[in-house]
Amino acid sequence: MSKMAQSMSFFLVLSLLAFAPLCFCTKRMGGYLYPQFYGHSCPKAQEIVKSVVAKAVAREARMAASLLRLHFHDCFVKGCDASLLLDSTGGLISEKQSLPNRNSARGFEVLDEIKSALEKECPETVSCADLLALAARDSTVLTGGPSWEVPLGRRDSKSASLSGSNNNIPAPNNTFQTILTKFKLKGLDVVDLVALSGSHTIGNSRCTSFRQRLYNQTGNGLPDFSLHQSYAAELRTRCPRSGGDQNLFFLDFTTPTKFDNNYFKNLLASEGLLNSDQILLTNNEASRELVKQYAQNNELFFQQFAKSMIKMGNISPLTGSRGEIRKNCRRINSS
């Protein structure tokens, strides 16, 4: 190659680099996730999502936690592909019927509203998986939590997994090791586990999810003594031995609608509501130290929560030509 050709080639490479977008992209098979994915195809996408979520949370503060939880329950099954949003039709059994979601997962109507607005603005462009990731971020911010740039470009699955939903999502009565294993299988670690558990700073839980702690923790007819006894007595007034399964209780009774680090302070006071909350303090040294750090330093918790949410949002997304962009989040497109 002549010197002139070499210099022309070098110049071409430099030119290409100069116009390459600067982004912290997440490489996945078939494509990238990056925050500016809809910059040209649907520039108002994020603004639309935020507007609908803000109205929904203004109507009902609890909705912020519900939307955040949907993203978590979606990502832990087949990856962040909006499989959770599909209704049962024909041969497809919805993940909404699983034990973690039945009579519990909520907020689907808000996502329908977001999708409808997005379809009017830019038809068949923004995926349900992406609007779910954006709604989770916006819900966090609206309740006083941290913000982060959401990597985008996920596509929607054409199937659901009832068994995956039943088996992969951590349950309130799982052991610490079982919960950590479920996180590790998704590429997450103990730091992500503790930080993401901090989302329980907002939202509610049902009596049926923690009743065993009040009456029969290990099958011997005795309560969980790691639960502060005066707090337990208060809970028993509305969570009896039988009945009242759907009665709701704040996960963080100190600031139930504010995203902050009081969740971790409650754990230190033996006032975590779910068994899966309290064992972060009692069953593992690494998680115990993280609980203490986040209880002392709200900013540290916020920084790690944002990092862990991005990491969770990157679990096995469908990109490139895999999956589809659903027109209606509740059903796959007709071929």
Active site residues: 73
Q: Write phi, then psi, for 182 (nearest 5 degrees).
A: -65, -35
Residue 64's nearest CA partner among 206, 200, 250, 203 is: 203
Strands 248-250 and 204-206: antiparallel
Q: Write phi, then psi, for 109 (nearest 5 degrees).
A: -65, -35
Q: What is the C-alpha separation between 267 and 240, in angstroms, rounded?
A: 23
Q: Which sign does the torsion angle of CA 72, 77, 80, 86 carry?
A: negative
SS (H, E, C) 251-316: CCCCCCCCCCCHHHHHHHCCCCCCHHHHHHHHCCHHHHHHHHHHHHCHHHHHHHHHHHHHHHHCCC
